[in-house]
Every structure is written in structure tokens, then in C-alpha cells.
Amino acid sequence: MIQAVIFDVGGVLIRTHDHSGRRAWEERLGLAERESEEIVFGSEMGTAAQAGQITDVALWAWVGQRLALDAAQLAAFQQDFWAGDVLDSGLVDLIRALRPGYQTAIISNATDNLHHALTHKFAIADAFDLIVGSAVERVMKPHAAIYLRTLARLGRQPAEAVFIDDSAVNIAAAQALGMATIHFNPRVDVAAELARLGVQPTP
């Protein structure tokens, strides 16, 4: 029986709806389309930040150097880079409705800024019993350790948890441990998929 519902953040709870700010900077800096995202997320330094090898502050200092931006330009770039991100308020409402009857948690590949962002920028940290970020744990999905640590802290077995993520690789890793999963995309009705697993908000 499912007792814990575990969510990814980027691509699930928070999604980039408007890329225009990023595209404008790419044109200005002579970068290819989506190259700014590759630099921030997919570069060696981006991965190092998510793995906890460097801080979020160090990552952005490197981005500024990589793009030859001064402090004011870097601040503007950061603001525009994140400007198109939107919190899925419907999913957050569902999570809050689940909490009386189920544990809720996050497993996210993210820099050490994750908890601060969820608390202060998006104001959703209180909707979760546990927030597990890769930088703090120094291990990233799809490594089994980050799932197993989360389950241990919740006091749950894999079969007692459902994991929701937009990455097929991360979903497969959770399934290999025996967790139920929902492979997310914006067209997926998460409430209906949870109900199919017997998970419903407390009346």
C-alpha cells in the first residue's frame, strides 16, 4: 500500500513555460539556441553543482566568466534565465490535499540553493515532509542511493512509495528498486494516476 508520494521538482513541480528571456540572451551573446541551458545545467560545472562538488554561488560565478559578463550583467542574465519558470499550483494543491493521509517528499537533482528557493521564492517547502537535494546528498538521480536514503528517512519500503519524475532514466531507476512510478509530462493527470494506485486526498 502506498504511504509516501515523492516528486521531482524541475520539469514537474516547476516548469519553464517561456524561454524568451534565455533566447534573447543567447542571441545577444552569439550562443546557439538552448546553449545557455546547456551551460547552466549540462556543463561539467553545472553537473558539479548538482553533485555538491561546488556551490550554487560558484556555479554562477563561473557562468559569468564563461559568458564574459560583469556583475550587473550576470544578475540580469540570472533574472531572465529563471523568469519563465512557473510553479504548477494545481500539483501543489494536490500535494497539500494528500498530506493528512500520506507522506510527501521531494528528490531533486539541484544545487545547494534548492531548499532556499522552495522556501522563499516558491513558498512550497511546508507542503513536504522531506526535501532531498542532490547537492546536499552529493549523489544524483538515477543513482539508487538517493532514492534509498529518501525512503529510509521516511521510514518506508520501496513498495510503499510512488515516485513522480519527467525523466525516463530516473523513473527506471525507481522502478528497479520496487517503487511505483508516474512518468510525468504536462498532459498526465497526476491525480488520476495516483488514484489508480489507490492514493487519494483525504476527504
Host H or E run for residue 78: helix 71-82
Instruction: Write down the CATH superfamily of domain 4-15+85-196.
Output: HAD superfamily/HAD-like (3.40.50.1000)
pLDDT above 70 as % of the chain: 100
Question: What pLDDT sits at residue 56?
Answer: 99
Question: What pLDDT sits at residue 175?
Answer: 99
pLDDT digits (tens, 9 = 90+) for 64-81: 999 999 999 999 999 999
SS3 133: strand
pLDDT digits (tens, 9 = 90+) for 91-130: 999 999 999 999 999 999 999 999 999 999 999 999 999 9
Question: What pLDDT sits at residue 58?
Answer: 99
Question: Taking a C-beta distance cutoff of 8 angstroms, is the pair 115, 133 a contact?
Answer: yes
122 burial (CB, 10 Å; 0-12 / 13-18 / 19+) is middle
Distance CA 124, CA 13 (A): 10
pLDDT digits (tens, 9 = 90+) for 14-37: 999 999 999 999 999 999 999 999
Sign of CA dihedral 12, 14, 16, 18: positive
Q: State mean pLDDT over 184-190.
A: 97
Question: What pLDDT sits at residue 202?
Answer: 82
Question: What pLDDT sits at residue 180?
Answer: 99
- Using 50, 70 and 90 to split pLDDT, how confident is the model at 13? very high
Mean pLDDT taken over the chain: 98
pLDDT of residue 203 exceeding 90, the answer is no
Q: State mean pLDDT over 131-149.
A: 99
